[in-house]
């Protein structure tokens, strides 16, 4: 294929003048891909909900938080982990998860062109926040003393990554998506990523309160011991 024909390779990504000579269109439909994503995420949520209910030590809110970390573990480790491993062959690869990323790239083409920021951010996310999310699930089920420390660390990391994700695209002028498109821009790009701002913010406040209460109790206990002496 010569340079002139490569430039004419049709694709659905923005900006429209992107040159992606190795691109191969998906043979899986959007509905197939989304059903897979939400079905597996729902399965992780359901199984975690059932497991956290066995012991009966966790309230509804806490169980939902643990379910969130289970879903995060799946998405960070498997979905984003796949991108980190195969971003260089993504445009032409027809593996199911590669097709998932090609579908998502309609909302943010930085993934299909392996933008440096996106690759680095997703690598950190998959390498750290994925395993740490599963560790957090275990820590809450096992009532480990460090569970809220993990919650705070992961939530801060997720929030930081999501803010950078949006801010870098804002500085680029939202050129990597069809601005205003109800599915590709508002659902894929905005909604699906805003979850990693809204929920981590709530969990950061929760962890702050839990750790502050524990520290206050520790300080009070030490003060009482000093007074007794």
Quick: pLDDT tens for 194-223. 999 999 999 999 999 999 999 888 878 776
Three-state SS for 27? coil
Two tokens at 5?
């024909």
Round to whole Å and give the CA distance between 185 and 164.
Answer: 17
pLDDT for the residue 212: 95
CA distance 195 to 203: 12
Residues near 168 by Cβ (< 8 Å), separated by ≥ 6? 117
pTM score: 0.91
What b/e readout covers 135-171, taking b as 16+ CB neighbours within 10 angstroms? Answer: bbbebbbeeeeebbebbbbbbebbbebbeebbeebee
Structure tokens at 219: 């300080």
At 70-121, the pLDDT tens digits run: 999 999 999 999 999 999 999 999 999 999 999 999 999 999 999 999 999 9
Read off the pLDDT of each residue in 16-34 and give the average, rounded to a whole number. 94
DSSP 229: -
- Over the stretch 134-184, which tens digit does the pLDDT of each residue have? 999 999 999 999 999 999 999 999 999 999 999 999 999 999 999 999 999
């Amino acid at each position: 294929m010569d340079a002139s024909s490569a430039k004419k390779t049709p694709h659905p990504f923005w900006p429209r003048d992107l040159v992606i000579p190795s691109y191969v269109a998906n043979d899986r439909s959007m509905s197939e891909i989304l059903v897979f994503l939400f079905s597996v995420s729902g399965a992780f949520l359901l199984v975690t909900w059932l497991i956290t209910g066995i012991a009966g030590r966790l309230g509804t809110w806490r169980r939902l938080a643990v379910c969130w970390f289970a879903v995060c573990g799946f998405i960070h480790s498997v979905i984003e982990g796949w991108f980190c491993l195969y971003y260089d062959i993504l445009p032409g690869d027809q593996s199911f998860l590669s097709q998932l990323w090609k579908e998502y790239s309609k909302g943010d083409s930085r993934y299909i062109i392996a933008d440096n920021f996106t690759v680095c951010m997703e690598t950190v996310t998959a390498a750290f926040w994925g395993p740490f999310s599963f560790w957090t699930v275990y820590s809450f089920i096992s009532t480990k003393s460090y569970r809220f420390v993990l919650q705070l660390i992961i939530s801060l990391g997720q929030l930081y990554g999501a803010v950078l994700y949006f801010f870098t695209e804002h500085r680029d002028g939202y050129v990597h998506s069809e601005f205003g498109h109800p599915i590709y821009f508002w659902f894929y790009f905005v909604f699906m990523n805003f979850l990693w701002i809204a929920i981590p913010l709530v969990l950061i406040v929760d962890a702050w309160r839990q750790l502050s209460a524990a520290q206050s109790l520790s300080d009070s206990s030490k003060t009482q011991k000093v007074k007794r002496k």
